[in-house]
């Protein structure tokens, strides 16, 4: 199928009387740079990767105090429960913790296990023997198995489980697993930062960072989404969820910069409220066109001047008609006409290059 052109979808004329010119858009990631404009009109730029000095009074129990305690007996007990491979993974995690490397300690994922009773026994092992670690269950490599993830309990009281504190012990307040009991009232619970990313859409970037931190992607809030085929700088915030994101500080995110590929985070500060979709004025675009074809250089200059003087109608372009082998406007037209079989065929029928079509022709 030939590439889609403007005339195929009814785009037949320019706004101005100028002849216009053609060029290649988004040939490289850096050809399309998007900077978010926040609600105050500030263009977001990543300027610093360093975490600011922590001024928060930290009354939490420091895990470094555990460094004098050996965990050989606990590891051997776990070995009898989970096997050599998982025991060695656990030993490596504990070694990092007791050496004082509290920030940047990555979670470990134990071997897949389809036995729910055995997984329950392993969860209980950590609750009873290694209270400074917490566990949860995540999907395994196949539908029939699950895996246990083990991570550092960054909350203040490592000896208390979720249900160990009764309501009267909490002063009548409902249970809140979002943050540390010792979080200062003078510091905002949300950590705001700027995210720089290349060739990743917003959800993919958030998913990667969340996985490295060992938290849920929904812990993040953002004002707008950004395309994959672009370089963008965007402002994000942690928002209220039941994961332990509020117990983390800027230095933990800053430590990720050494491991992030095509992404950087920085310009950290604590704020009272999290961002939500739509909480921005817009975006600033820096666009590079390559392979420009025009009848003269004067035409290009005149077109650029007209764009700057008159602006443009932000209506639609070819990007609104899909990027697959069947343009989505044809499917939409069939649906509007009630031609259900045609619409289904446009979506499901094998097309040139499909593996099913290739196998059929063999």
CA distance 90 to 109: 9
Whole-angstrom Cα Rg for the chain: 27
Angle between helices 84-98 and 72-82 (to 10 degrees): 150
DSSP string, 302-331: HHHHHHHHH-------GGGG-SSSS-HHHH
Residue 172 CA to residue 175 CA, distance in Å, equals 9
Q: Could you give the CA distance from residue 137 to residue 147 in angstroms, rounded to a whole number?
A: 6
Q: Which residue has the tokens 């000095």?
A: 53
Alpha helices for 214-288 (secondary structure H): 250-254
227 in catalytic set: yes
Q: Which of 31, 136, 201, 227 is catalytic?
A: 227
Beta strands in 4-65 (DSSP E): 22-25, 32-37
Residues belonging to the active site: 227
């Amino acid at each position: 199928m030939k590439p889609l052109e403007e005339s195929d979808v009814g785009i037949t004329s320019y706004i101005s009387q100028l002849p216009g010119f053609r060029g290649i858009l988004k040939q490289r990631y850096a050809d399309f740079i998007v900077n978010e404009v926040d609600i105050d009109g500030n263009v977001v730029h990543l300027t610093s990767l360093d975490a600011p000095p922590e001024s928060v009074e930290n009354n939490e129990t420091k895990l470094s105090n555990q460094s004098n305690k050996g965990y050989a007996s606990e590891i051997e007990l776990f070995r009898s429960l989970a096997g050599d491979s998982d025991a060695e993974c656990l030993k490596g995690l504990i070694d990092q913790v007791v050496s004082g490397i509290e920030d940047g300690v990555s979670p470990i994922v134990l071997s897949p296990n389809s036995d729910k009773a055995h997984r329950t026994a392993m969860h209980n092992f950590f609750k009873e023997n290694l209270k400074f670690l917490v566990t949860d269950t995540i999907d395994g490599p196949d539908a029939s198995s699950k895996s246990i993830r083990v991570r550092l309990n960054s909350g203040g009281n490592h000896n208390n489980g979720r249900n160990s504190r009764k309501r009267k012990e909490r002063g009548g307040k409902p249970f809140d697993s979002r943050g540390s009991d010792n979080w200062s009232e003078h510091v905002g619970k949300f950590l705001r930062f700027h995210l720089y990313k290349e060739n990743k859409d917003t959800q993919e970037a958030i998913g990667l960072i969340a996985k490295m931190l060992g938290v849920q992607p929904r812990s993040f809030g953002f004002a707008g989404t950004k395309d994959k085929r672009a370089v963008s700088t965007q402002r994000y915030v942690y928002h209220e969820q039941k994961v332990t994101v509020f117990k983390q500080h800027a230095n933990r995110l800053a430590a990720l910069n050494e491991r992030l590929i095509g992404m950087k985070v920085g310009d950290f500060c604590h704020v009272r409220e999290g961002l939500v979709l739509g909480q921005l004025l817009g975006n600033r675009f820096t666009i590079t066109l390559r392979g420009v074809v025009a009848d003269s250089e004067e035409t290009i200059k005149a077109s650029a001047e007209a764009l700057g003087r008159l602006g443009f109608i932000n209506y639609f372009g070819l990007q609104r008609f899909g990027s697959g082998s069947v343009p989505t406007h044809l499917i939409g037209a069939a649906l509007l006409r009630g031609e259900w079989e045609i619409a289904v065929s446009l979506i499901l029928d094998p097309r040139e290059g499909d593996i099913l079509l290739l196998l059929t022709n063999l």
